[in-house]
Amino acid sequence: MVVKTTIRLPFTPEIARAAEPFYRKVAHVVPEIEWPVHAPYVVAINKLKAERNAVILAHNYMTPEIYHCVADVVGDSLHLARIAARTEAKIIVQAGVHFMAETSKLLSPDKTVLIPDATAGCSLAESITAADVRALKAKHPGLPVVSYVNTSAAVKAESDVCCTSANALAVVEDIAREWGVDTVIMTPDEFLAQNTAKKTAVKIIAWKGHCEVHERFTPADIRGFRKADPSVTVLAHPECPPAVVAEADYAGSTAEMQRYIADKHPKRAVLVTECSMSDNIAVDFPDIDFVRPCNLCPHMKKIGLQNILHALETLTVEVRVDADIAARARRSVERMLAVGKTPVAA
């Protein structure tokens, strides 16, 4: 469903004044010429979300005017899921893709969960169906299925536990121990499965889904960054192919990359992941030089200030999950949240 957006709002002197503190925050990464377009939405969204008792949960891949100017909580998939489970707000606006909004609905079934564009999907989530998971279980009886949160609720419902890129290792080892097995099935990200398998004695049977953003990076890209500046620090997301992760200095979820940057404070860094990550971190670390290889996620980029405002105005598009699927999917997500918070590090 394509969402109609509010028509462009005017940039008045009053709006300019009200939005000024936000602009000071993002001036480093948002061109001045763009600000008159964003500012009226920033002001309107902040006003309306307070009136509606809404919270905006924004993924690290949102653009800086969303991430730094209207979001209440920002983070990786794991952090956003944890917050969704305990927010007091009446309405959750998910500034991210559809599977993230579904996860929020599973964990907060009594809240209104809105996604500003219901077509914001994910190549991983689309690579596997509930029937595929049932077929895998029939082929490998007695083995648990670990599914990445980047899946539909129907796939989560057929799985034994979920994971994110931040806790994949801990979840795989935990479920193997609990089931008393040496092998688990992991869906749908083949590369996350292979990157996780390198760190554990547990054997992993992987599905062949890929992230269309991360699968495009190559080891030659990394060698190119190092050739241009041998002192550059390279961080890669574990959705990248193992050969790319092997060339990186560190691999971790989007939040883990952020923590690494804060802890190590390299002079120059390259984040081998979606474009907006570097922009968002650069706001907090203006003295670090970010080399920006740009692979956009077309799904994440469907979310903008205009459709966030439209979602708050119209309370659409509301995310709903069939009750039976939700009950089973919730078990997989809650089981994940109960597992230790051990991060996956390269």
Instruction: Summarize as ranges the residues that interact with ligand 13P (CB under 6 A).
Output: 60, 76-78, 150, 164-165, 211, 239, 253-254
For the CB of residue 218, give the shortest distance to ligand 13P in the complex, in Å.
17
| C-alpha distance from residue 168 to each of 84, 149, 206, 277 (Å) | 20, 10, 13, 21
Q: Minimum distance between the CB of residue 153 and ligand SF4, rounded to whole angstroms?
A: 16
| 122 binds ligand SF4 per the rule CB under 6 A | yes
The verdict on 124 binding ligand SF4 (CB under 6 A) reads yes
CB 112 → ligand 13P: shortest distance, Å?
23
Separation of alpha carbons 171 and 152, rounded Å: 19
Measured CA to CA, the distance from residue 198 to residue 249 in angstroms comes to: 16
d(CA 279, CA 160): 36
For ligand SF4, which stretch binds (CB under 6 A), given 86-94, 119-127, 167-175, 312-320? 119-127
- Residue 22 or 191: the one with the smaller Cβ distance to ligand SF4 is 191
Give the residue with the Cβ less far from ligand SF4, 300 or 333. Answer: 300
- The single residue listed with the structure tokens 């899921």 is 81
Place of tokens 């439209």: 310
Closer Cβ to ligand SF4, 77 or 87, answer by number? 77
Of the candidates 206, 255, 282, 297, which one interacts with ligand SF4 according to CB under 6 A? Answer: 297
CA pair distance 236, 214, nearest whole angstrom:
9
Nearer to ligand 13P, 96 or 144 (CB): 96
Tokens at residue 142, please? 């007695």
User: Given the complex with ligand SF4, which of 89 and 300 has the nearer CB atom?
Assistant: 300
In the shown chain, the binding pattern of residues 183 to 222 toward ligand SF4, with x for contact by CB under 6 A and - for none, equals ----------------------------xxx---------
The residue (of 68 and 299) whose beta carbon lies closer to ligand SF4 is: 299
Q: Report, in Å, the least distance between residue 95 CB and ligand SF4.
A: 12
Q: CA–CA separation, 98 vs 115, rounded Å? A: 7
**Would you say 308 and 66 are in contact if contact means Cβ atoms under 8 Å apart?**
yes
* Amino acid letter, 273: T
The helix/strand/coil state of 143 is: coil
In the numeric block, which tokens belong to residue 329?
């999917």
Chosen residue from 70, 97, 113, 172 binding ligand SF4 by CB under 6 A: 97
The option from ligand SF4, ligand 13P, none interacting with 123 (CB < 5 to 8 A, set by class) reads ligand SF4
Regarding 150 and contact with ligand SF4 (CB under 6 A), the answer is: yes
Q: Which residues are registered as beta bridge partners of 269?
A: 233, 290
Q: How many CB atoms lie within 10 A of CB 2?
A: 9
Write down the least CB distance from residue 311 to ligand 13P, Å: 20
Strand partners, 271: 235
Q: Measured over all CA atoms, what is the biggest interatomic distance in the chain, rounded to whole angstroms?
A: 66
- Whole-angstrom distance between the N-terminal and C-terminal Cα of the chain? 40
Q: Which residues bind ligand SF4 (CB under 6 A)?
A: 97, 122-124, 150, 211-213, 239, 274, 297, 299-300
